[in-house]
Amino acid sequence: MDNENQTPETPAQTQAQTQTQEPADWRQALSDSIRDAEEFKGINSVEELANSYISAKRFAVSGDLTPKTPQEEDAFFAKIGRPAEAKGYTFALPEEIGKDKDVKALFDALRKSAFAGNVTDSQFTRQMNAFMGAVAELEEQEKQTVNAQRQKVMEEYAAKCGENFKAKMNDLNTICRSVGDEFVEHLIELGAGHDPVVIEGLLKLGSGYVEKEGGLYRTDGGRVLTNGEIDKEIAAIKADKAYMDGQDPRHKSTVDRMTVLMKMKYPS
């Protein structure tokens, strides 16, 4: 009679009791000999173990581990090292190019492409290292080609100048020094320092000047002033009373000198 008065358990109650009785660590139900097996690391539940078994059986039968659904694919490639998003790749651009806008845009495109192709983090790092190495190699080859071309041009120019080549190079150095280091560096950067047309043009411009102690002088003997020297002399003339006094005997000479200085400072 007691059994007749008992209320039957529902399936939900039975499942709840089973879950309550299940060990906190699913491996506790295993024998001591296999409980701590290395292969179980990363498997946190009986369901994960079952999924691993299904995948292994599928591979054993057909040799195919290809994920069958988008969800399986996402989980599979995340498991083997693909980051959760394109920005998750750990490869970083070298500091000297990392701030360039165009380079950053290309790098972002490469990361997005890699993520879409399920490329793992380690694979992407190897790909980028290979890419950067190939770019550096191409740049070095291009540099060597340009240098070889410049060397060939200068050798041909030297042969054309004959015994005057060394004297021309000395004159060119004198002219470039008189203009300043910034000008020389700019010529080198552009490769114009190896251009015979530019060299001859500079020599022609410099032929009207002679270098002496204290600076450059025109061939007529007049000294070529720097901008600072011109400003200093202009200020001195403005402070001279003769410049503003038309009755002063030196008035005309100071005005003429001011005219010359202004033409030097503001050539037309």
Question: Could you say which of 50, 65, 80 is where a domain stops?
Answer: 65
Confidence at residue 42, expressed as pLDDT on a 0 to 100 scale: 67
Confidence at residue 19, expressed as pLDDT on a 0 to 100 scale: 47
Confidence at residue 220, expressed as pLDDT on a 0 to 100 scale: 54
Query: What is the rounded distance in angstroms from the CA atom of residue 145 to the CA atom of residue 150?
Result: 9
Confidence at residue 25, expressed as pLDDT on a 0 to 100 scale: 79
> Within a domain: residue 54?
yes
Contact call for residues 85 and 121 (beta carbons, < 8 A):
no
**265 is in which domain, residue-wise?**
226-268
Q: How many domains does the chain have?
A: 2
Quick one: tokens of 214?
A: 């204290």
pTM here is 0.46
> Within a domain: residue 201?
no
Confidence at residue 181, expressed as pLDDT on a 0 to 100 scale: 75
Confidence at residue 60, expressed as pLDDT on a 0 to 100 scale: 54
Non-local (6+) Cβ contacts of 218 within 8 A are: 208, 209, 210, 224
Confidence at residue 145, expressed as pLDDT on a 0 to 100 scale: 93
Q: What are phi and psi of 210, to 5 degrees?
A: -125, 130
Confidence at residue 10, expressed as pLDDT on a 0 to 100 scale: 57
Residue bearing tokens 């296999």: 34
> Within a domain: residue 217?
no
Tens digits of residue pLDDT in 113-154:
999 999 999 999 999 999 999 999 999 999 999 889 888 988
In this prediction, the residues of the chain whose per-residue pLDDT falls under 50 are: 1, 15-16, 18-23
Contact call for residues 175 and 203 (beta carbons, < 8 A):
yes
Tens digits of residue pLDDT in 88-111:
999 999 988 888 899 999 999 999
